[in-house]
Structure 1
Amino acid sequence: MDALGLFRASLPGDKDASKVEPFPTTSSEPADAEAQRTELHEATHLYLPKPTPLCISLDSKTRFVLEGDEVDLRSVYLAWVHRELNIPDYLAKFTDLNAKLPADKQARQLSFVERIELVSWLEGSESSDLVKPLEITADSAAASGTVPVVAGTGAAVTQTSINGRPVKVIDARLQAIYNGERKMGDRNTILRGIKPTDFSHVRKYRDLFMPKKSKDPKSGQLPTRSIPPGMPNKGAVSAKRVDPIIMLSPSASSLLRMSNIKTFLDTGLFVPFSHPELANQGAANLLHLTRPLKQISEKPFRFILVDSPDQFKTEYWERVVAVFTTGQTWQFRGYKWREPQELFSHVLGIYVGERGLPVPSDVKSWGSNVKTFLVDRWDEKTHGVVDHDTRVARRWKDREVVEDLWRTIESSMKGKSLWKR
């Protein structure tokens, strides 16, 4: 049974009169599905309303393959219903679901790129590198006994199935070769997209920046290219300093998220990440922060703060100077170094916890390059109803923690050649 294909066919289109979506249920019979409709963590089956009402087990494996493993229908449905959520909100839903499921039924986390690929295919994309094609091979046709087979020839033949529809039967060895092929495009689809673009207007700038070189009749030497007024001299060698990167934990249990990290590191004030007034609830997935590090450079550094490496290039990992962690190893799945001991041998680790609560044992076991910092617990009665200056005065210990944290980052950066003077 093609669970992924059936799920895609059951999704309502723009022209459908009834917008009935698939929903989780505890019933294996379509007639009882609506009466036994429930939450995803309690459900055993997924009800598909069309083309024929059907209930499929949520444990069914699909053709959506990641790292050689077929992703189950439960994980596919979770990614689909939360397709419009950003990365932290999706991770919160994922963590909450797995906390309510037994170990053998837990969903698989999809990265941002994997979710985009899956949603695009479910919405009608013709092909995807992560969706295994569904074919009728010679072996399967012979097992079913419905289609004559020409085996061992390495050629495709067209036969007739029971319903009278033509079915392509491919030799199993030839199909194995087809599965290794990669679809390529021409220069129009790769360089210009589906609509060709006219770049002829660029020619008028050619003589300005790339004048034709001709020898001087007197000296016989090639003339030097003149620099237009107001344009920088690109011939001069300049060493541009790259911006260091700080990675945050996307865990829902982390005290510091994209909504409150800038207030903490920039102004030395800790506020809860979910505070309706003091936290920046609309924070993006990438932030910038400027901080002077006098022991390294007189010019302040501009730090980049992110909570996911989905858009990382390989060379970006050399610029990562600190990784905030909560002690959960799933945070490192998309990292260059997935094992905590290996990761923190290259990058400084930072754990920020609440004073009075124990530090996770995993954090202690990851070595001396993971530093621990503790902040006082937030009290809304004491800290939330006063003005900014009074709040800063009452939480003066936060400033001490932040300065100590920056000194640790600066000391770690001094040991790397990329950040030396």
Structure 2
Amino acid sequence: MSAGETDALNLFRTSLAASSSPLPTRSADASSASDIAPLTEASHLLFNTQSAADGVQHTALSLKTATRFVSQTNGALDLASIFWCWQNKDKSTGDYIAATQELNTARSSNGLGEVRNLVFAEKLDLINWLSGENDSEFIKSLDDNRQTRAQAHDAAKMASGDGDVVMQDARAEDDKLRDIYALERKTGDRNSILRGSKPTYAEAFLGRSKASAPTPALITPAPAIRPAKPSSGRRPEPIILLSPSASSLLRLANVKSFLMDGVYTPPTSTTSTTLNILHVNRVMPSIEPTRPLRFILVESPDNFKPDYWNRVVAVFTTGQAWQFKGYKWSQPAELFSHALGVYVGWRNELLPDTIKGWGRGVLNVGIDAYREGQTAQQRWRDRETVEEIWSAIEASMRARGFNRETR
């Protein structure tokens, strides 16, 4: 199969499944071991795949090859960015970004193209797909690519008078390929859409008295009883769960100033710790660009009704598993397949073993140690960390089906 007919992502995934990781090379014709090169010097990626009919096949693709993985911020990623992401699959977000900057400096000095970063949720999605664990929300289907190519091909042939023949051939080929790749990607999402079946929250969760709730009017006759839509037309607010641990750097007392103002202060030096619920507003451009979403922040799910769990989009944790006792999903692996995990620790401190063990479903970020009397200007790096957290939450919400049309 020629390079032009090869789908880079499928070839990459197949190679990994066969325990044959691709190798970066200095040329398309890697005839000797000396052609194998670090990514700082490589221009191609060499795939060695085993075939029962043809034996070992060698396929070299340019690292500039565009793939079907379409990032929300970077567009269609090239093969170099895909390979680099896989190489750094076990690194934290901060280490991944730092390593990418160092790599791009070296590649630029060698006259080669730069690789692109992926936000946390996109990186996790890609790695899981390459590992064969799940489908991807960011990978364009093969049928979409074929249709685009067939339309361009047909247009050219129509101009030369051979349109009818070519259109028939293209459709026949598409039918065969569609059968081959029918099982490549499921139409459904394994995660539930982040919305509840009811448009309003329980009175206890909002801190209102049941006695103050208005009595709904009865309409007779009524073919069915349905929950009334909120008059504002807003979707139910997404929920962020915080850790109730005393060792957590972020509590209800200080999390609002951190997430909204981008400045960290210890929880004991801010507002009263008697709070049990907070609201923060944040514009999510890829979900609702015209107005901010309102997020509910709580430390305990004690007042949750079953549908509230469908609105949980992030869980902040210190790595202590007792936090999840009483959760709908008490096992970390299951919990972080439904909501983004977020660990916030001191910068340059060792990552807890539990966080490492919970895998790629937990975003790991660090903040500078706090010193009494620091100004907001001195804590400018906090803003970078906050933006990283919000970007990961937004990408995770998108990947799990929370979009502009979700109401």
TM range, smaller chain: 0.3 to 0.5
TM-score (norm 1): 0.41
Q: Greater relative contact order (Cα 8 A, min sep 6): structure 1 or 2?
A: 2
Q: Which protein is richer in helix relative to its size?
A: 2
For the pair shown, the structure with the greater C-alpha radius of gyration is 1
